[in-house]
Homo-oligomer: A and B are copies of this chain.
Amino acid sequence: MARPKNFDEERALDAAMRAFWVNGYHATSTQDLCDATGLGRSSIYNTFTSKHELFTRALTRYLEAMTARQLEVLEDSAKSPLERIRALFDLLLAGEEENRRGDRGIGCLTVNTVVELGGADPATARLIERDQDRRMTALRAVIARGQRDGEIRATRDADQLARFLNSVVAGIRVAGQSGADRDVLAGIAATALDALVA
């Protein structure tokens, strides 16, 4: 047929994702993307059409990877509902530990994107909304199950508790980004769980 690309598209996507994650959409220039991926401008535009399209692809990849891992934890039938939620926080904390630049975390691409583009880029906002729905559904199910088992307080409905947890997750991400260390984040997570078991 024709000349093949001499780079791995998914590897390039990962590098771009990382760049957007660390610096944000606007602060990442096409030159930065070339440097991060090791590709030339032509290859990037030939493969991904535009900066925005590349961002969309990178974000989609991020959402899929993160949510897949979270759902795996939430649906682990070897654990009780409450243990799964604890495991979810463990996963989160491990991720925060892993992704640090200097004295602070780089946050979560989802949260970062909601904050930076949420109001200005409806297509991206929808992408994140659909992902949130998936996570919320799984979370709600686990909580409802825990409530039936008597492991989780039933004084608030599963939906409300799920939204609370989801919001705490975002809060932990922001706290990590503003410099809180692992112990502090673990303390926040543990305290949040108090609201579920009391």
Chain A residues at the B interface, C-beta cutoff of 8 Å: 22-24, 26-27, 101-102, 104, 106-107, 111-112, 114-116, 118-120, 125, 128-129, 132, 153, 155-156, 160-161, 163-164, 166-172, 174-175, 177-180, 184, 187-188, 190-192, 194-195, 198
Q: Is the CB of B171 within 8 A of A27?
A: no
Q: Is the CB of A194 within 8 A of B156?
A: yes
CA distance A156 to B191 in the complex (A): 8
Assembly stoichiometry (copies) = 2
6 pairs, A vs B, C-beta closer than 8 Å:
A24-B116, A128-B178, A163-B188, A167-B174, A167-B175, A168-B171
Q: Interface residues of A: mostly helix, strand, loop or mixed?
A: helix
Residues in B whose Cβ lies below 8 Å from that of A175: 163, 166-167, 170
Closest CB of chain B to A143's CB: distance in Å?
11
Q: Is the CB of B188 within 8 A of A198?
A: no
